[in-house]
A and B are shown apart, each in its own frame.
Chain A
Amino acid sequence: MSHEADALGLPPGILAHHFSSLARQNEAMRLGMWLFLATEVLLFAGLFTGYSVYRFQFPEAFAECSRHLELTLGTVNTLVLITSSLTVALAIHYARTDRRRAAAICLVITLLFALSFLGIKAVEYAAHFHERSLPGKYYAYEAVKIPGAAMFFSVYFLMTGLHGLHVIAGMSVLSWILRRTLQGRYSSRYYTGLELGGLYWHLVDLIWIFLYPLLYLI
C-alpha cells in the first residue's frame, strides 16, 4: 500500500494502512462526508418542520413579518453565498489541475464572502434588536401585533441562528483546507480533503437557498 502512495508521489500520511488503495479511501471519504451532510439536512429538517407547522397555523402573521424583514440584505446574502459556492468549486478545480496558488486565492475569496455573509446578518440582527422584533417572550415589535408574529421571529432566529453557526463552522473548515492547500497537500493526484471541505460549504449554501424564499418572500 505504501508503494502505491510512493508511486503516486503523494505526501506522507495520506493513504491509511487499512485501505487497499487510494481509490478505495477516496470513495470512503466521500461516502462518509455525504452521510454527514445527510445528518445535517435532517438536523435542519426539524426546524423546517416547526416552520411549516406555524406558517400553516399563522399564515397572516408570517406573511406580515416576512414583509418587515430586510429583503435587500437577504437577497445580497443569497448572492454572496451562491458566489462563494462558485469560488470554492473553482478552488477544487484549480487544485486538481495543479494550480495551487489559484486554489488558495479562491479559498481566501470564499472566506471573505463567508465573512460578509456574517457581517450582513449581524446588521440584520442588530436591526431586529433595535426594533424589538425578537423571539417569544422578548417580542415587542410595534409594527406587527397579530397572533403568531412572535412565533415567526422565534422560527426566524432559530433557523438563521443555526445556519449562522454552520457558516462559522464552514469557515473553520475552509481555513483548515486553506492551510493544507498552502502546505501543498492537494494536487491532481489527491485532493479529496479539499473536496470534502467544499462539500460542507455547499451544504451551507443549499440550506440558505431554502431559507431565503421561505423567510424573506412569504
Chain B
Amino acid sequence: MRLSEADSHALAGASAVPTYLHDGTTVMSWLNTRDHKRVGVMFLVSVILFFFLGGIFALLLRFKLLQPGPFFVDALGYNRLFTLHGIVMIFLFLIPSIPSAFGNFVLPLMLGARDVAFPRLNLASFYLYLAGAILAIWAMVQGGADTGWTFYTPYSSTTATQVFPVLLGVFILGFSSILTGLNFIVTVHTLRAPGLNWMRLPLFVWSIYATSVIQVLATPVLGITVLVVAVERVGGFGLFDPARGGDPVLFQHMFWFYSHPAVYIMVLPGMGVISETVSAFSRKNPFGYKAIAMSSLGIAFVGFFTWGHHMFVAGQSTFNAGAFGILSMFVGVFTAIKVFNWVGTMYRGAISFRTPFAYICGFLYFIVFGGMTGVALATTSLDIHWHDTYFVVAHFHFIMVGASVMAFLAALHYWFPKMFGKTYPEGWGLVAASLIILGFNATFIPQFLLGNFGMPRRYYQYPEHFQALNVASTAGATLLGFGFLIILIYLAIALKWGSRSETNPWRSKGFEWLTASPPPTHNFDETPTITQMPHDYRTHEPGGVIRVA
C-alpha cells in the first residue's frame, strides 16, 4: 500500500490538530503529562544528559591512565571515577535508554494504540528515574562510592565512602525499570490494534517485549541485593561478611542473577532498532522474521541461565562453573541467528547509505567481535587468564558502546524526523558516525591487547611497558568524545533551526510512520485496522491493508 502524506494525515486527524509537542506548552503540561510521547522525550533528554556525564567520568579516568604512576587524581579518586562511570552509564543511561526513550515514543504507535496501558504509571516511572538519579548524583557530590558498579562485598558493606545513597538510588532506579517493563508487557498484550496479531508485530516490539520480560523478572533480585547491602552497612547484619559466617560469593550470585540478564536489557532493544532500520534502509523484508522475533525471546530466557560465568574465579564450585560455562555457550546462538538474518536482509537489498545505516554497519561489526570475545571469555579455562583484565573491559565496551550506543544513535537519527518533524544534516551525521567508529576502535582494541598482556582492570597504577597502549586508548576516547559532541551540537541546531521534514522521509513501512511526524497527542484519530505484514517492502501491491476503522 502506498502511503501518501494525505493518508498519514487522514489517520492522524485534521491538520488543525496540534502535534504532541504543541498541545499544551506550559512546563506543567509537560511535568504532568499522560502522553507516552512526552514521557519518551523527557527520558530521551535525561539519558542523553547522563550519557555525557558518564562520558566525562570516562575521559577523566582515561586522562589519569596516560601516566602509569600517580597522576591527576589519587587512588581513591580514581576508584570513585570508574565506579561513577559505571553506575551512571549502566543505570542512568544504558538500561533506560532505548526502551524508556524510544520504546515509550514508538511502541504505542507501532501497535496502533492511543497510549501505553498505564499512562500515569509511565509518568511515575519517569519521576522514579529522576529520584534515583538525584540520589546517585547527590552521593557523587558527597564524594561518591569507590566499590566499582558491582558493589562486591564485604568491601561495599564496610568502605567509608557514600555507598548507601548510591544503593538507595539504584533501588529506586530499579523500580522505575520494573514499572516501564510492566507497562510495555501489558500494552503489547492488550492494546494491539484490530488485525495486529503476534506474528505481525514489528520486530522492535518483539525486542522491547523480550526486554520488558527481563526487566520484570530480574530487576527485583537486584533490588533485594542492594537493599541487603544497604542494611548491612547500617545494621551490621553480616549476611555477606565472612567474619560472621556470611558468604561474599552469595552476594555475587544474587548480583549477577540480575546483572547478566541486565546486559540483555541493554542490548536487546538495540537489536530491535537494528531490525527496524536494516529493513528500512535495505528496502527489503526481514530475512527470517520469525527467527529474529523468536531469538529475542530466546535471548531473554537463556540469558537467565548464565550468570555464573562472571564468577569463574570467585570461589564458586566446579560444578557450577562447568554448568554455567556450558549454558553460556547457548546464548550466543541467538545473536548469531540475528546477525545472519540481518545480513541476509541487506543482501540484494536497495541500500540507502544514510547515517542510521552507518550505525548499522558499526553495530554489526562490534556485535560480532564483542560477541565472539564474549564466547571466548565464557570458556572457563580462558577466563582464568582474562578475568578482571582489560580484555573483559574491552569485550563489554564492544557490546555496550559498540553495539548498544550505535543502536541508540541509529534510533536517534531514524526517529528524529518522527519525533520532532525536523531534518538533521546528513553530512555531519556521517562525519560523526565515522569519528565514533574510528574513535571507538582506537579506544578499545588496545584494551584487548592490554588485557591479554595481563593488565588488570580498575587498577590505579600499571607497569611502564603498558603505557603506549594506554595512551593510544586515551587518544581514541578523546576522538570518541568529539564524535558524540558533534552529534549533540548538530541535533540541537536541527531541533531549533533545521528544515521541516516530510512525514516519512525514509519511505519506511514501519507502522509508526503511518501517522503524522510529529504525531498528534492522540496518535490516531481512529484506531487503524492493521492486516499488513510488518516491514513489507515488496513492490507489488501486498495483500494486506491498512485502513481506518
Contacts and interface: CB of A to CB of B under 8 A. Distances in A.
Interface stretch (A12-20, A108-116, A183-191, A209-217): A12-20
B219 A155 contact: no
Contacts of A158: 228, 231, 237, 239
A97 B126 CA distance: 39
Interface stretch (B39-47, B246-254, B532-540): B246-254
Interface string B215-231: 01111110111011001
Contact of B238 (A45, A147, A151): A151
Contacts of A16: 119
A84 B239 CA distance: 33
Contact of B186 (A31, A47, A136): A31
B52 interface: no
Contacts of A148: 245
B239 A45 contact: no
Contacts of B235: 135-136, 138
Contacts of B239: 50, 136, 151, 154-155, 158
A35 to B, nearest CB: 5
Contact of A18 (B114, B238, B247, B253): B114
Contact of A50 (B113, B114, B250, B527): B250
A7 to B, nearest CB: 20
Contact of A42 (B217, B236, B527): B217
A39 interface: yes
A141 interface: no
Contact of A17 (B114, B183, B227): B114
A19 B238 contact: no
B190 A46 contact: no
B244 A150 contact: yes
A20 B527 contact: yes
B228 A151 contact: no
B237 A36 contact: no
Contact of A35 (B182, B238, B241): B182
Contacts of A45: 220-221, 224
Main secondary structure of the interface of B (DSSP, over half): helix
Nearest to B232: A136
B237 A42 contact: no
Q: Is the interface of A mostly helix, strand, loop or mixed?
A: helix
A157 B143 CA distance: 31
B499 to A, nearest CB: 33
Interface residues of B, number: 42
B178 interface: yes
A49 B224 CA distance: 11
Interface in A1-41: 16-20, 24, 27-28, 31-32, 35-36, 38-41
Interface string B101-145: 000000000000111011101000000000000000000000000
A53 B254 CA distance: 12
Given A135-B235, A137-B238, A46 B221 contact: yes
A46 B245 contact: no
B250 to A, nearest CB: 5
Contacts of A151: 238-239, 244-246
A20 B190 CA distance: 9
A44 interface: yes
Nearest to B238: A136
Contacts of B231: 158
B43 to A, nearest CB: 19
A46 to B, nearest CB: 3
Given A35-B216, A54-B245, A42 B221 contact: yes
A43 interface: yes
A26 B255 CA distance: 35
Contact of A39 (B113, B117, B216, B225): B216
Contacts of A125: none
Interface string B239-269: 1010011110010011000000000000000
Contacts of B191: 18-19, 24, 28
Nearest to A138: B236
Nearest to A54: B245
Contacts of B221: 42-43, 45-46
A50 B255 CA distance: 12
A21 to B, nearest CB: 10
A46 B118 CA distance: 28
Contacts of A27: 189-190
20 contacts: A18-B191, A24-B190, A28-B189, A32-B118, A39-B182, A39-B217, A43-B220, A43-B224, A50-B228, A50-B250, A53-B250, A54-B245, A58-B245, A136-B235, A136-B237, A137-B236, A138-B236, A154-B239, A154-B244, A158-B228
Given A39-B182, A42-B220, 13 more contacts: A16-B119, A18-B119, A27-B189, A28-B186, A46-B225, A49-B254, A54-B247, A58-B245, A135-B238, A136-B241, A137-B237, A151-B238, A151-B245
Interface of B: 113-115, 117-119, 121, 178, 182-183, 185-186, 189-191, 216-221, 223-225, 227-228, 231-232, 235-239, 241, 244-247, 250, 253-254, 527
